[in-house]
Amino acid sequence: MVKLPDAVRRLRNLDAPLLLVSAALLFMGWLLQSAAGGGDPALAASWLRWLLIGTFASAVLVVLPLPRVLTAAPFLYGLGLSLLVVVKVAGPVINGSQRWLPLLGRGLQPSEFMKLFTLLMLAQLYRTQRLRSEIQDWLPVLVVGLLPTGLILVQPDLGTSVLFVPLTFAVIIVGGARWKPLLISSVVGLGVLFLLGGVLLEPYQKERIASTLHIESMSASQRSGAGYQLAQSLTAVGNGGTFGHGLGAGPCVQSGRLPYHHNDFIFAEIAEELGFVGSSLFVLLEAALVLLICRVGAVARPLSARVLCAGAAAILGAQAFAHMAVTVALAPTKGLPLPFVSAGGSSLLVSVLVLTLVQCVSVQRGRW
Amino acid sequence: MSQRFTWIVVVTLLAAAALILRLHRLQVREHERWADLAIDQRGGIFTLPGERGRILDRNGIVLAEDEAVIDVSVEPSAFRELSVLHALADALVLGSEVPDAEAVRWRCFTNPAKAVEDLSRIRAPQLEELVLRMQPLVPPRGTLPLRADEGPQRWKRCLRLLGVELPQAQDRGEWIQREGMNLAARCGEELKLLSDLARVRGADLPAFLGELKSLSAREEAWKQGQIRRELREVAALDAFGVPSPDLEKLGGETWREMVCDAALPFADEDAASRALAESDAWLSGSIALPWALAAALGDRDAVEVARLAKLGAQDPDELLDHWAQSVGLNNMDPELRRRRERDLRGRWRRGRAFPFATALPSEARLLFTGPGRLESKGFRIEPRLTRRSLPATAATSTLGLLLGGVARQSGEPTLARSVEADRHDALRASAGQVASGTPGGVLLTAPRHGQDVRLSLDWDLQQAVERALDVAHETEPMALVLLDPATGAIRALVTAPVSKDRDAALHARLVLEEERTVLRRILGRGEGWARQRLLALSDSGAGSASEAALLERWQGSAPLELRRRLDGVGEALAMSPAFHRAVDIPEHLPPGSVFKAITVLAAIESGKMNPESVVECVQTTERAFLRCKGHGSLSARKALQVSCNAWCYEAGERLGIEAFVDWFQRLGLGEPVPGLLPRERRLFQEIASDDARALAIGGGSLRIAPVRAAALAASLATGLRVTATFLHGPTPSFAPLRVGAATLSLVRAGMRDVVLPGGTAGQVAGLQHFRIAAKTGTADYEASGGERLNQAWFVGYAPADPGETPRIAFAAVRAHTHDKGADAAPLVARALEALARTHPGERWW
């Protein structure tokens, strides 16, 4: 066990820019969830509670040796898979899906934690196995990375399940896989997914895709059906104009016409209330987060540390950009929370912990 | 940096660029489009009608004003429990006549200071007990939404807002027994309205209440109007579906609190609790009506409500009967009613929406809406403004003929000759726009309200005179005017007969007038014209169906038959209650001998006769209007006293038509009466070809409305060129008549003699009690069937003693009668007594 003073000294190696950017994102999240942002006080209080939990957990995590944390990965991964099975079998149906488990008085979302556990598992694989560039090396990685996808897809939760794809591929790419077999298998995989999508996707999921493709040409009555949320989101975004209506004063969002504007469509609220200037800055902030994570990973020596950072960048980046793309109808509606900003305790906790893992890489560089 | 990470960076930057470009397109390039859509989706732009100006009497009593009402349509296919629909239909027939809510609303709107005074009584120590007494309304099983702890908390919140310290529980006393629940309910309603107004004013409620209390008397009169206008704007905003967070806070978070605040009187508490506890089934669907139903029924036994609701009948016939009553079908033409019922049944079968109730008070919306909503499943609520006059009485039915009305769709006056039409430019409002949907709503354009119009009418006097003359039961045509001679202001205008259904009477009048027009044209242009006109109407489809029907009926008739029918129509019009005879001039209304006062004045002043000119009056059998009674030798004064035709014939012959026309103009005959009558243009054209002798005794083509006759009397009384007015305003400055004092004095003396023994009204019992000067007039004419009938006039002023300032001028007429002029004098006597009763302490005669 590292002596406490030494561990504290190593905190000097925290990546300051990454810390600043993540603090800025968390601050934005707090503003939006709190009364200043027109939020529900109860939700804001819950968000703050989860942030505190995440901060506490991060404080413990950052001083632990990362290799020790990674040794727990198989257990955590197995636990996660079990919870996914349990939630499907016994979880309450809420809004037509089984995603939450009531634990400790809270509703926990196992799929969110599965992202973290999968990331740890993949990093552990690269730490303990000599995985290199050949297809036979990274196929197991693919399996490990995509196994939760199927379990999450049947909840159903298409949005979260899809996130495991960029996570896995980012890990494989940074892990050193050769391009040609990777590309071929990617194309094949996409084709299979496309074919399976017609079979596996629920009708409402297909409708969402169609709505996204045709949203701007849909009539008002059509917009009131399947395309309602997306139409409201576009209206809110466009209504923001250049400088927005001010925090907590977005007419479309605050009037309640946009469902789930506290989580799945919170970027629409940002866009309406902060305008083009504010929302563009937010996009750049998210991009900066990903770039800074990549910077940490690029200078890390152990391969497992690099893939850890790549996976973290993929999880946070893909989720953030997918969320934003949905609100502006660049992607089908998937119900993804915006990391660090959306309401939703599980997502916030996992995002904070993922970021903490990256900081661990920075803090513990050369000490693996 | 590792090349592998470069791919992640590139993908991230590309995604960011794509997002920013997309944002730029939506938020910058297409911003207008999405902003417009945002406004539309937020509830749209509502037109907020401007409130038409009020019509007030001289003391500020509201005679007509706009009122926010709702029309409710039913969508049967959206209902789940038809028994609720059944009961609601029945309840609404009663619910629209809840007197307490009405009284509250009027008081708040006309006298906020009085409302404050009532609210201050809440400081009574028994209030907490009052609050506790609301608890029994919660049924034991708690099946109603009202929770046991909501009552006291809600009222405590109300009190805190009022700045009232909740007192300790003390002796309850009879105050609770007397005031009971109504005060608590009224508190909520007034609190809501006053708080809304405070919000509009940007003040907190206690400060605003203090402001109301400190208003000076003069300011108060102005501010009450202004306050009332603001209250109406807020209420209109509410009625037109613009949500306001403050309203919701005040009314409570739930609709059941809003029902309390609507000041609906409660039924017997125990019965209500029992019935409602037994009626769980009523609470199905999204319409929580039953509790409100029980409240709305007032003193009806709430158990009866339960029985009605459990009928469970889905019988359209029974339901339609209820609705027929509520939408006024019972008063309709039978054929129209049958068609309407067929339409309703058809809509019922197809489950389509149809009208359920019209012109309900806007508070009734609470009976249909669910929690915190503006609409209700099954009902469509459409708010609008309607013109509201005082409740219909004999007095108001006559007033209605003068005020006229406003068409619902166009907002234009319905009667061409009415106060609403005459003052339309001032009364008219323009609509504003509200963007509804966001918290609080956004007032895009404020409505411009119309200006109030204050009449010279004294409403209290008007009612007193009508009661004194028993206008409600009078069947013979008559009219009476009371006018202030100093200002020309009309204080009372009475007519008879009256009809409680003003619209029906007006409709009948229009039908008769149309028939009269057709008959005159057939008579004047011949049968050939009638055939051609009929063909033209059937080809073009223009004109009215009634005109075509009349043409078809009369085109082949002989002229004699047409004339008989024309006489009959004329007589029907003469007896119609759709005329206000003080201003309207139906067929036969010559002034008769009242004009002899003008003849004497004109003849003496112009030097054609002198005061001592003696004319020999001999009884004669010549043409009718040349007849007289053989009064012997008469001077001017005596001629007036006995109303001698011979003296006036002589005077008329000497004066000539042109002189009469000149004098009529000098006296202001034909001048417009602001608010009532336009300039009389045809009069001078018609009399230009008359026999001057006929004019001299008030015959020929001379026609005059009683209101102008009263103004003439005022002119004689004051020596000024008095013109009547129906509008309140600054004291006018009338030009002098340019008549010698001696001449005026002579005419006045003659008029004083009329009511003395020997005068034409000298025999009227009790008239000598009144020191008045007057002139009688009996103008006879031939009615239909050859019968000779009279217009009996009595025109004058009081007090009439020399040196006294005249204070009231009057004109009374009985039409279509066998009475003589003197027989109209008792009308004046009763009217003057009513005047003295309503204005005691003043010397009227």
Q: Are B563 and B534 in contact (CB under 8 A)?
A: no
In this prediction, residue B311 has a pLDDT band, given cuts at 50, 70 and 90, of very low
Closest Cβ opposite residue A287 in set B2, B13, B37:
B13
Q: Which residues of A touch B28 (CB under 8 A)?
A: 241-242, 276
The answer to whether the Cβ–Cβ distance between A174 and B37 falls below 8 Å is no
Counts for chain B of helices (H) and strands (E), in that order: 34, 15
Instruction: Name every chain A residue with its beta carbon within 8 A of the beta carbon of B4.
Output: 173-174, 176, 306, 310
What is the per-residue pLDDT for B285? 21
How many angstroms separate the CA atoms of B148 and B519, rounded? 74
Q: Where are the alpha helices (DSSP H) in A129-261?
A: 135-153, 158-174, 179-200, 203-214, 220-223, 228-239, 251-254
CA B142/CA B269 separation, integer angstroms: 15
pLDDT at B150: 35
Mean pLDDT of the region B610-636: 74
Query: Does A317 lie at the interface with B, CB-CB under 8 angstroms?
Result: yes
Q: Is the CA virtual torsion B262, B264, B268, B274 positive or negative?
A: negative
- Quote the mean pLDDT of chain A: 81
d(CA B430, CA B451): 11
pLDDT of residue B34: 85
Q: Is A129's Cβ below 8 Å from some Cβ in B?
A: no
Beta-strand relationship, B55-56 and B453-454: parallel
In order of B124, B607, B637, B653, B747, the CA distances from B611 in angstroms are: 75, 9, 7, 17, 10
Which class for A194: exposed (0-12), middle (13-18), buried (19 or more C-beta within 10 A)?
exposed
Supply the pLDDT for residue A215. 57
Q: Is the peptide bond before B290 cis (omega within 30 degrees of 0)?
A: no
Residues 6+ apart with CB under 8 A from B402: B418, B419, B493, B580, B583, B676, B726
Q: Please tell me if residue A280 touches chain B, with a CB cutoff of 8 Å.
A: yes
Q: Which chain B residues are Cβ-neighbours of A233 within 8 angstroms? A: none
d(CA B510, CA B140): 61
User: Exposed, middle or buried: residue B214 (CB in 10 Å: 0-12, 13-18, 19+)?
Assistant: exposed
Question: Which are the contacts of A51, defined by CB distance < 8 A and separation ≥ 6?
Answer: A26, A30, A348, A352
Average pLDDT rounded to a whole number, residues B685-696: 82
Question: How large is the C-alpha radius of gyration of chain B?
Answer: 34
- DSSP β-ladder status, B632-634 and B773-782: unpaired
- CB count within 10 Å of CB B669 equals 24
Say how many Å lie between the first and final Cα of chain A, rounded: 13
Interface of A with B in 325-344 (CB under 8 A): 325, 328, 330
Q: Of B717, B718, B685, B721, whose CA–CA distance to B703 is shortest?
A: B685
Query: Residue B562: what residue type?
Result: L
pLDDT surpassing 80 at residue B686:
no
Per-residue pLDDT at A282 exceeds 70:
yes
Do residues B812 and B840 make contact, with C-beta atoms less than 8 angstroms apart? no
Radius of gyration of chain A (CA): 20
A242 shares contact with chain B (CB less than 8 Å): yes
Highest average pLDDT, of A224-228, B9-13, B160-164, comes from B9-13
CA-based nearest residue in chain B for residue A301:
B2
- Within B629-688, strands assigned E span 632-634
Determine which of A180-189, A332-341, B46-55, B106-115 has the lowest per-residue pLDDT on average: B106-115
List of chain B residues whose C-beta atoms are within 8 Å of the C-beta of residue A133: none
CA-CA distance, B19 to B26, in Å (whole number)?
A: 10
Q: Chain A partners of B18 at a C-beta cutoff of 8 Å?
A: 325, 330
Cα B775 to chain centroid, rounded = 34
Residue of A126, A132, A235 to mutate for B, most B C-beta atoms under 10 A: A235
| Residue A328: CB atoms within 10 Å | 24
Neighbours of A203 (CB within 10 A): 8
Triad B602, B603, B605: Cα angle to 5°: 65
Instruction: Please state the rounded mean pLDDT for residues B138-158.
Output: 32
Nearest-CB residue to B2 (from A240, A298, A313): A298
In A7-143, DSSP assigns E strands to 101-103, 106-108
Does the beta carbon of B34 lie under 8 angstroms from any beta carbon of chain A? yes
C-alpha B38/C-alpha A271 separation (Å) is 14
Q: How confident is the model at residue B486 (pLDDT cuts 50, 70, 90)?
A: very high
pLDDT greater at residue B482 or residue A364: B482
Q: Which residue has the tokens 């409130």?
A: B51
Contact across the interface for A238 and B16, Cβ inside 8 Å: no
Chain B contact for A170 (CB, 8 A cutoff): yes
Greatest alpha-carbon span in chain A: 66
Lowest mean pLDDT among A158-162, B314-318, B615-619: B314-318
Contact A238 B38 (CB under 8 A): yes
A130 burial via Cβ count (<10 Å: 0-12, 13-18, 19+) = exposed
Does B639 score more than 60 pLDDT?
A: yes
Q: Is A13's pLDDT higher than 90?
A: no
Least Cα separation, residue B365 to chain A (angstroms): 23
Does pLDDT of B754 surpass 50? yes
Predicted confidence at residue A32, as pLDDT, reads 85
Looking at every residue in chain B, the average pLDDT score rounds to 67
Contact B41 A275 (CB under 8 A): no
Exposure class string for B779-799: b at 16+ Cβ within 10 A, else e: bbbebbeeeebbbbbbbbbbb
Nearest CB among B16, B31, B439 relative to A283 is that of: B16
Kindly identify which residue of chain A lies nearest to residue B38, measuring between CA atoms: A235
> Cis peptide before B732, with omega less than 30 degrees from 0?
no
**What residues 284-313 of chain A have any CB closer than 8 A to a CB of chain B?**
284, 286-287, 290-291, 294-295, 297-299, 306, 310, 313
Distance CA B177, CA B130 (A): 10
> At B499, is the secondary structure helix, strand, or coil?
coil
Residue tagged 């059998």 (tokens): B621
CA distance A206 to chain B (A): 23
Q: Which residue has the higher pLDDT, B755 or B175?
A: B755
* Per-residue model confidence (pLDDT) at position A35: 56
SS3 assignment, position B357? strand
Instruction: Calculate ∠ Cα B566-B572-B578, nearest 5°.
Output: 130
Interface with chain A: mutation pick from B41, B248, B436, B438, highest number of A CBs within 10 Å: B41
- Per the rule left: phi > 0, alpha: psi between -120 and 50, beta: everything else, B647 is alpha
pLDDT by residue (tens digit) across B194-208?
A: 554 455 445 555 555
Residues of A in contact with B8 (CB under 8 A): 170, 173-174, 290, 294, 310, 313-314, 317
Tokens for A162, please give them.
């899809």
Q: With contacts defined as CB-CB under 8 Å, which chain A residues touch B41?
A: 232, 235, 252, 257
Helix, strand or coil, per DSSP, at residue B435:
strand
Cβ within 8 Å of residue A36, ≥6 positions away: A247, A248
| A360 or B411: which leads in pLDDT | A360
Lowest model confidence (mean pLDDT) among A15-24, B201-210, B390-399: B201-210
- How confident is residue A146, by pLDDT bands cut at 50, 70 and 90? confident
Residues of A in contact with B23 (CB under 8 A): 237, 271, 276, 279-280, 283, 328
Residue B536 touches partner A, C-beta closer than 8 Å: no
User: CA A99 to CA A86: how far, in whole Å?
Assistant: 10
Q: What percent of chain B has pLDDT over 90?
A: 18
End-to-end CA distance of chain B: 114
B668: alpha, beta or left? (left if phi > 0; alpha if psi -120 to 50):
left
Nearest residue, CB atoms, B28 vs list A176, A242, A297: A242
Looking at residue A95, what is its pLDDT?
A: 56
| Closest residue on chain B to A314 (Cα) | B8
Q: Confirm or reject contact between B417 and chain A (CB < 8 A).
A: no
For A254, the closest of B7, B24, B439 (CB atoms) is: B439
Interface check B7 vs A, CB under 8 A: yes
Per-residue pLDDT for A212 more than 80? no
Q: Hey, are the CB atoms on A237 and B27 less than 8 Å from each other?
A: yes
So what's the pLDDT on residue B627? 66
The answer to whether the CB atoms of B1 and A295 lie below 8 A apart is: yes
Q: Comparing C-alpha atoms, which of B524, B624, B529 is closest to residue B566?
A: B524
Region A241-266 average pLDDT: 78
In chain A, which ranges are E strands? 101-103, 106-108
Mean pLDDT within B581-597 = 78
Q: Does a cis peptide bond (omega within 30 degrees of 0) precede residue A156?
A: yes
Tokens of B727: 């509008």
User: Among A311-325, B163-177, B373-387, B745-759, whose mean pLDDT is lowest?
Assistant: B163-177
Mean pLDDT across the stretch B513-533? 84
Mutate to test the interface with A, among B6, B9, B23 (most CBs of A within 10 A): B23
Please tell me the distance from the alpha carbon of residue B569 to that of residue B580, in angstroms, as a whole number. 18
> Whose CA is closest to A291, among A335, A321, A334?
A321
ipTM of the complex: 0.90
Structure confidence by residue, pLDDT tens digits, A107-119: 678 888 999 999 9
Between chain A and chain B, how many beta carbons pairs sit less than 8 Å apart? 127
- Cross-chain CB nearest to A294 (options B8, B20, B34): B8
Tens of pLDDT, residue by residue over B20-30, are: 999 999 999 98
Residue B307 in tokens? 């029985």
* Mean pLDDT of all residues in A260-277: 87
Say what angle helices B459-468 and B825-838 make with each other, to 10 degrees: 140
What pLDDT was estimated at residue B550? 77
- A219 compared with B354, residue with greater pLDDT: B354
Chain A nearest C-alpha distance from B353 (Å) = 21
Interface residue A16 vs chain B (CB under 8 A): no
B439 at interface of A, judged by CB pairs closer than 8 A: yes
Cα B190 to Cα B106, B195, B310, B627: the distances in Å are: 11, 8, 35, 70
Report the pLDDT value the prediction gives residue B353, as an integer from 0 to 100. 58
How many of the other CB atoms lie within 10 Å of CB of B632? Answer: 14
pLDDT of residue B74: 61
Q: Distance (Å, rounded) from C-alpha A144 to C-alpha A121?
A: 8
Q: Can you tell me the mean pLDDT for A219-235?
A: 63
DSSP code, position B387: E
Q: Please state which of the ranges B94-103, B544-553, B564-573, B608-617 shows the lowest mean pLDDT.
A: B94-103
The answer to whether residue B804 scores a pLDDT higher than 60 is yes
Q: What is the mean pLDDT of residues A70-85?
A: 90
B35 with A239: Cβ contact below 8 A = yes
B578 close to B508: Cβ distance less than 8 angstroms? yes
Asked whether the beta carbons of residue A251 and residue B23 sit closer than 8 angstroms, the reply is no
CA distance A212 to chain B (A): 14
Give the residue-averaged pLDDT of B351-373. 55
Query: Which among B13, B14, B19, B32 is the top mutation candidate for probing chain A, defined by the most A β-carbons within 10 Å of its own β-carbon?
Result: B19
CB burial readout B751-771, b (16+ within 10 A) else e: bbbbbeeebbbbebeebeebe
Phi, psi of B430 (to 5 degrees): -120, 145
